[in-house]
């Protein structure tokens, strides 16, 4: 009986060792390795930390000497799309894209923050070199990255509220594209060989030079504001799903 018990215990011990070994090796199937493509999709939220120059015409304040007219930019959420190509198990090249963001441009400075002056859409493709510090066998893969952001603005519009404030029949808003540095940090947690969850945060240096052209009721050009800088410098947050192939 003692011998049988020892055999059973020995077999149980071996099975336990094998199970532990399998569990230890299992995460390796979830690894990020050289040559992997990692796609991520989810909700991405842009929260500007904005400021702007005072708006002037010929050096004079836009709405009179007593009014410091500035602008602010509201937040927006869209579908975010990210991709990473792994050069090694620790180094990857990441790209951030999204459906177009739409922002209201509101009053700032002495102007009420709820006064909508215009709106714009933008796309902020961002390219980063990413570092994954964990071993490739880990299902949990935090990373950091640094790179460059290019933001293009389009469909800029002004509002009747702005036209009324400056006594114009109509007006046009122009925003220059922006190029600046970007930083990111994030994490993927792989639930299986190919699927996982992810979260990330970015800061991007986005500055644009803006000006407003002014027309009378007949559409004749009257004047334009001096060029003024708008610093958007948003924090960007994303949560979503990961697919590796």
66-123 pLDDT, tens digit each? 789 999 999 999 999 999 999 999 999 999 999 999 999 999 999 888 889 999 999 9
If you search the block for the tokens 């990473």, which residue do you land on?
Answer: 84
Cα dihedral 57, 62, 65, 69 sign:
negative
Total of domains in the chain:
2
Distance CA 163, CA 22 (A): 70
Beta carbons of 236 and 206 less than 8 angstroms apart: no
Q: What is the CATH number of the domain that holds 71?
A: 2.40.160.20
Q: Do 19 and 51 sit in the same domain of this protein?
A: no
Q: Do 120 and 14 sit in the same domain of this protein?
A: no
Q: Do 3 and 46 sit in the same domain of this protein?
A: no
Q: Do 142 and 49 sit in the same domain of this protein?
A: yes
DSSP string, 156-174: EEE-HHHHHHHT-SEEEEE
* Structure tokens, 112: 């009420």
Distance CA 51, CA 43 (A): 25
159-205 pLDDT, tens digit each? 999 998 888 899 999 999 999 999 999 999 999 989 999 999 999 99
The strand pairing partners of 44, in sequence order, are 78, 238
**Predicted TM-score (pTM) of this structure:** 0.81
Range of the domain at 55: 32-244
Q: Do 74 and 9 sit in the same domain of this protein?
A: no
* Structure tokens, 3: 């011998």
* Structure tokens, 157: 């519009």
């Amino acid at each position: 009986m003692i011998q049988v018990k020892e055999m059973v215990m020995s077999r149980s011990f071996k099975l336990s060792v094998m199970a532990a070994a399998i569990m230890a090796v299992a995460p390796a199937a979830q690894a990020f390795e050289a040559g992997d493509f990692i796609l991520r999709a989810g909700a991405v939220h842009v929260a500007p930390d904005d400021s702007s120059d005072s708006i002037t015409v010929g050096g004079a304040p836009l709405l009179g000497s007593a009014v410091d007219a500035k602008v602010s930019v509201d937040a927006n959420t869209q579908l975010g799309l990210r991709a990473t190509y792994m050069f090694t198990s620790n180094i990857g090249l990441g790209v951030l894209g999204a459906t177009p963001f739409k922002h209201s441009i509101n009053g700032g400075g002495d102007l009420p923050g709820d006064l909508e002056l215009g709106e714009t859409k933008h796309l902020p493709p961002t390219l980063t070199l990413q570092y994954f510090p964990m071993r490739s066998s880990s299902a949990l893969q935090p990373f950091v990255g640094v790179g460059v952001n290019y933001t293009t603005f389009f469909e800029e519009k002004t509002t009747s509220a702005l036209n009324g404030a400056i006594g114009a029949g109509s007006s046009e808003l122009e925003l220059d594209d922006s190029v600046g540095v970007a930083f990111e940090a994030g994490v993927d947690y792989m639930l299986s060989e190919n699927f996982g969850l992810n979260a990330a945060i970015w800061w991007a240096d986005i500055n644009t030079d803006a000006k407003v052209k002014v027309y009378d009721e007949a559409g004749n050009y009257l004047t334009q504001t001096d060029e003024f800088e708008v610093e958007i410098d948003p924090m960007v947050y994303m949560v979503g799903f990961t697919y590796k192939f």
